[in-house]
Structure 1
Amino acid sequence: MDFEKKKERAISIMKSKKMWSSNYAPPLLRLAWKIGIKIPPLPFARFWQVALLMGIPIGSVWGIVMWLFTWKESGMDPADAIARSLLLDVWMGISMALFHWWRKVANNLPDWDHLG
């Protein structure tokens, strides 16, 4: 079964379980789909895929905003700002990956490889 068919099957399963679409297909993931990146809906994705997709953008945007509005004026060293942003990247990535793993288990969803 090709990716699009598996994705639609996964989405129909999650809809039948009354899962919120904002949880399994947030705007960032829909953007990735539109540009051709083939990542399964988040509860079906691999742990590292969720961690990277959710951690890097959130931590990076947060770091840039904090630098522009707070850290730069307070005299924070740029290396310290980058380190804090990276820590948030890791923390958010792992947290979101654990959340979506838990949603998969709580809703008794099949593995991505067993859809079809």
Structure 2
Amino acid sequence: MQREPAMFGQPASPTPSQREQALQILARTGIGKANYAPPLFRLLWRLQANCPPPHFLPFWQAALLLGLFLGPSWAGLMWLLSHLLAWPQPSLPILSVAALVIGALFGLSMALYYAYGRRKYRLPTWEALASPLAAHKRA
């Protein structure tokens, strides 16, 4: 059996079936696919990253991953637009602080959104999906 590398503090899973189970559960809830499998996560999965769907990430990991993605992306976009459109160019300290604040606010708000969805739909834990007993109960 091929083992995928562990990511985000999660134990390595023998196959992607754990993620597939999670995606099937999320699809049955009626949550939109763009919400339970956002583009960033689909990209990570395509790059062979063994990370759970965002609803199954612990709060701090969702906040950190999403905040660290958006903060620098937003700063890079603002820097690029300021050069292309001849806007006043922000100083590096201002751009850095703005990226940090934007990233933190976005990461926290998205982590709250996913935690709310996890509770609302009574989703199992990621670890419960890995246990053979849990798979047997769902079958």
TM-score range relative to shorter protein: 0.7 to 0.9
Is 1:93 the counterpart of 2:107? The answer is yes
CA distance in 2, matches of 1:73, 1:18: 43
**Contact 1:39-1:49 within 8 A present in 2 as well:** no
Counterparts of 1:1-116 in structure 2, within 5 Å, are 2-70=14-82, 73-115=87-129, 116=135
**TM-aligned CA deviation for residue 38 of structure 1:** 1.2
CA gap 1:75/1:33 in 2 versus in 1, 3 angstroms? closer
CA distance in 1, matches of 2:49, 2:76: 25
Q: Which has the higher helix share?
A: 1
CA gap 1:59/1:87 in 2 versus in 1, 3 angstroms? same
Q: CA RMSD in A?
A: 1.9
CA distance in 1, matches of 2:38, 2:15: 18
Question: Normalising by the residue count of structure 1, what TM-score does the alignment of the two structures yield?
Answer: 0.88
CA gap 1:81/1:50 in 2 versus in 1, 3 angstroms? same
**Contact 1:55-1:89 within 8 A present in 2 as well:** yes
Matched length: 116
**Unaligned regions of 5+ residues in structure 2, if any?**
1-12, 130-134
CA distance in 1, matches of 2:76, 2:120: 35
SS in 1 for 2:124: coil
CA distance in 1, matches of 2:15, 2:58: 15
CA distance in 1, matches of 2:45, 2:56: 14
**Contact 2:79-2:89 within 8 A present in 1 as well:** no
Point out the structure with max Rg over C-alpha: 2
SS in 2 for 1:74: coil
| Larger deviation, residues 104-113 vs 59-68 | 59-68
CA gap 1:113/1:69 in 2 versus in 1, 3 angstroms? same
Taking CA–CA contacts closer than 8 Å with sequence separation of 6 or more, which of the two structures ends up with the larger relative contact order? 1
